Amino acid sequence: GNALKHGRPPVALSFGPAPRDGVAGMELTVADRGPGLPGDLLVARETRRLGMLVEHLIEISRFDAGAAALVLDDVNVAGAVAATLAARGWTDEVAVRGPADLGARLDPRRFDVVVANLAGNALKHGRPPVALSFGPAPRDGVAGMELTVADRGPGLPGDLLGVVFDRFVKAEAARSRSEGSGLGLSIAKENAVLHGGTLQAANGPDGGAVFTLWLPTGQDAEEGAVPSAEQDTAEDAEADAAEDAEEGGPP
């Protein structure tokens, strides 16, 4: 209907088998001979992609320069997760389970980035239902928390499991022109490591990709961390260091 209303004849409809990642499937394509998408829509889409890429490259440059710093604060995990999902309109799309009183000393902005990347990746490339669960998880005598995001999609291809956190990696050739930068999961892992934590990817026993984040919950403001009262100073220092990195370093 859209092709007939807004395009030009002839309208062609084709379909056929199209397995993907070992899953049997079909593909249906509808094409017309109209003018295509308006130029302003194409420009807006590409501008968004470019803006995201630049933002992610700046963030990566801070990690590479050793300039990324934690701005720690006492965080209620349930509240932080709820805020991340609500800010992006995902509250009704992700099933959340976890204790309401779990607290952790984290960088709220960086925790938001990690949760948003994991949930967004599951919503965009997996299949519903998407489940996010969290809870206390001590490790090697260190108080910690574990957060898991799982979907019911086809899962990660075997050749991708070992490189899914590498920069500019995308699971499918069809995603090479998606709005993602290919850096989201890399940034998520860098933020986990900065907290002294881990981020791992696997396939669930019943299918679907499973990402597991572990973070210490009682981290003090020690190496790589600054108190929340110094947030503005830390962010200014990160920006200056990123500029130095782009210019080849300070004189």
The two beta strands, 26-31 and 209-216, are unpaired
What is 154-182 written as a DSSP string? S---HHHHTTTTSTT--S-GGGTTSS--S
pLDDT by residue for the chain (251 residues), tens digit each? 554 555 557 767 666 666 665 556 666 676 656 665 555 655 665 566 666 667 777 888 888 889 899 999 999 999 999 999 999 999 999 999 999 999 999 999 999 999 999 999 999 989 999 999 999 999 999 999 999 999 999 999 988 888 999 987 755 433 333 455 578 899 999 999 999 999 999 999 988 999 999 999 984 434 445 544 444 444 554 545 444 444 444 44
The two beta strands, 209-216 and 103-106, are unpaired
pTM of the model: 0.68
**Residue 10 DSSP class:** P
Domains annotated for the chain, with CATH where assigned, are 2-36 (no CATH), 70-229 (3.30.565.10)
